[in-house]
Amino acid sequence: MKNYIKSVMFLAMGLLVFSSCEKDGGNLPTISFKTGGSYTSSDATKAVGTSLTIGINAAKAEKKDVLKKIDISRSINGGASTSVFNKDLSGSDGDNYSYDYTGTVDYTAGQTCKYTFTITNRDGLTNQVALTVTAQ
């Protein structure tokens, strides 16, 4: 009888542990370009020396999977990407994050520059948006 009671208690404890584990849906964080005004929010052609403002809005997709990191990289003419901005997020930035990247079209006429904005959540899941600016 003692072994039966121990077995039932062990089984009950196991069920308690498994039921307390929260299932994670694995949803990607959301990210989108800001639009309107002076924002560049899609592929564009700009004169060399022109100022450039690209804004993003990002948000967590699940209650506990807060945003942890933002990275902005750029690649000229399909070359290797170089990070131009990188920040660890915490506090209220973990729920929603908004950022305006400002720069100048500082590459040669005819060249293209791909800007990639990547957001990462607590589970390491990433989502990104990208656009290409052609210098003229």
Residue 104 to residue 54: CA distance in whole angstroms: 11
The answer to whether residue 63 sits within a structural domain is: yes
Q: How far apart are CA 56 and CA 94, in angstroms?
A: 14
Domain count, the chain: 1
Per-residue confidence band for 1, with pLDDT thresholds at 50, 70 and 90? low
Q: What is the CATH number of the domain that holds 76?
A: 2.60.40.10
Residue 67 lies in a domain: yes
Whole-number Å distance between alpha carbons of 103 and 33: 16
In the predicted model, is pLDDT for residue 102 greater than 60?
A: yes
Is residue 7 in a domain? no
Domain assignment present for residue 9? The answer is: no
Percent of the chain with pLDDT over 70: 82
- Distant-in-sequence, close-in-space partners of 15: CB < 8 Å, separation ≥ 6: none
Helix or strand or coil: residue 115?
strand
Predicted confidence at residue 20, as pLDDT, reads 47
> Mind listing the pLDDT tens digit for each residue in 21-71?
554 568 999 999 999 999 999 999 999 999 999 999 999 998 889 999 999
**Whole-model pTM over 0.85:** no
Within a domain: 57: yes
Establish if 64 belongs to a structural domain.
Answer: yes
| Domain extent for 83 | 27-135
Whether residue 51 is contained in a domain is answered as: yes
Per-residue CA distances from 95 to 2, 25, 38, 99, 117 (Å): 51, 17, 26, 14, 17
Say how far apart CA 116 and CA 2 lie, in whole Å.
63
Considering the domain boundaries, does residue 70 fall inside one? yes
